[in-house]
Chain A
């Protein structure tokens, strides 16, 4: 069965520290997508990144970077020089095809990691 584990329930750091959010997934599919979403205190879910299972290149976007390692089934997210505005719950998610005939996907979410960045 598909599963996403975010073992860190809550992380607290001081502003400007680097922080890594862990995500470990389980799937039998050979083709899948991995995602990170951010849920700030206002409540909306903001899409951050999508990674195809065939693309193991790390990605950097400003202060955000993602490390995808198929060998360990991990898709970790690092925030460099954290800021107070980074405080949010971060969700890792794995796509699962609805059926073999359907090319659309549903998301399997992890339980989320609450990040608190203190001034």
Chain B
């Protein structure tokens, strides 16, 4: 049963520190998405890759967030420097062209 994996599952850090979240998409899926979930905003799309190329990152604060896909088995989301308002659950999803399958999420707390 293929699944999207994400690491770490939980991260507590201090304001100003760099945070890196990793995602392994389902083998064979050519699209990868990063979402953020907060109580106030719900689920928001941050960035989207297709065939490893970033196609849409309009939902991402550009000054501190960056998303990359160095190879087909790894997608990363970096926050530098982190701020308390970045505290949220970050989900990675991979998909065929019709359905997105979500990973378990990384719960981030920035103190």
Please give the residue numbers on chain A whose beta carbons come within 8 Å of chain B beta carbons, in ascending order.
Answer: 33, 35, 37, 42-47, 50, 91, 98, 102-107, 109, 111-112
Question: Which of A45, A102, A107 contacts B45 (CB under 8 A)?
Answer: A107
Question: Which of B33, B45, B97, B104 contacts A44 (CB under 8 A)?
Answer: B104
Please give the residue numbers on chain B whose beta carbons come within 8 Å of chain A beta carbons, in ascending order.
Answer: 31, 33, 42-43, 45, 48, 50, 55-56, 89, 91, 93, 95, 97-105, 107
Looking at chain B's contact residues, the main secondary structure is: strand
Contact A50 B102 (CB under 8 A): no
Question: Which of B42, B50, B91, B99 contacts A47 (CB under 8 A)?
Answer: B99
A45 to B89: give the CA distance in the assembly, Å. 11
Q: 25 pairs across A/B with beta carbons < 8 Å? A: A33-B99, A43-B105, A44-B103, A44-B105, A45-B91, A45-B93, A45-B105, A46-B102, A47-B101, A50-B98, A91-B43, A98-B48, A98-B55, A102-B50, A102-B55, A103-B97, A104-B31, A104-B48, A104-B50, A104-B97, A105-B98, A106-B45, A106-B48, A106-B56, A112-B42
Q: How far is the CB of B23 from chain A (nearest CB, A)?
A: 13
Question: Which of B43, B56, B95, B105 contacts A98 (CB under 8 A)?
Answer: B56
A91 to B97: give the CA distance in the assembly, Å. 20
List residues of chain A with CB within 8 A of the CB of B101: 47
Q: How far is the CB of B86 from chain A (nearest CB, A)?
A: 18
CB-based closest 3 A-B pairs: A45-B102, A109-B43, A44-B104
